Chains A and B, each alone.
Chain A
């Protein structure tokens, strides 16, 4: 079955350490996205990529970095510069065949930084 895989499901890090969250998709989608979700809030866009080797900042990119070396993969690095990194991180992808195509989401990674 096609889908999006995020790993790990839970991640714990000490303050000051960088950490990379994995996102892999086998849906053959061109576009991929990273969102952050905090309790009681909606989803905020961190970065997105429309095509391999290209990506754009979203609304809250500071303290994060991404790469898109392969179509299937869009890893997110949470750097020590991110002031409040503890959150639920969601990766998504969509086809660019149509403006109406919806996002498909992974099951998320819950990051806790202490």
Chain B
């Protein structure tokens, strides 16, 4: 079945550092891919998405490129801020339902 694998956390970085959170997937066909972010005590918010191969999703300085050849959708940001501290989830749209990775907790220190 469809599945998503994210790099294990937690990840701790200093402010202004470069961020990469790895995400790979297994699916039939070419599903839409998403990154969601969850701040403490809240639900998930859509961060960005890509719907076909080579698409790049971007939002709030975050980017991810849909790589069909490596079945990956890694999340990157050039300079992180303390306010980026949260849990990040990679997900794919399977048959009418979203399949999530296990989440990566990110902490940014000032």
Q: Which A residues contact B (CB, under 8 angstroms)?
A: 4, 6, 31, 33, 40-43, 45, 48, 50, 58, 90, 92, 99-100, 102-108
Contacts and interface: CB of A to CB of B under 8 A. Distances in A.
Given A100-B49, A100-B51, A108 B97 contact: no
A52 to B, nearest CB: 16
A90 B44 contact: yes
B97 A42 contact: no
A45 B42 contact: no
Interface of B: 32, 34, 36, 41-46, 49, 51, 89, 93, 96-98, 100-103
Contact of B96 (A31, A40, A106, A107): A31
A42 B100 contact: yes
A77 to B, nearest CB: 20
A103 B100 CA distance: 12
Contact of A102 (B43, B49, B89, B101): B49
Contacts of A43: 44, 89, 100
A100 B93 contact: yes
Given A42-B101, A42-B102, A99 B44 contact: no
Contact of A33 (B34, B89, B97): B97
Contacts of B103: 41-42
Nearest 8 CB-CB pairings of A with B: A105-B43, A42-B102, A105-B44, A42-B100, A100-B51, A43-B100, A100-B32, A107-B43
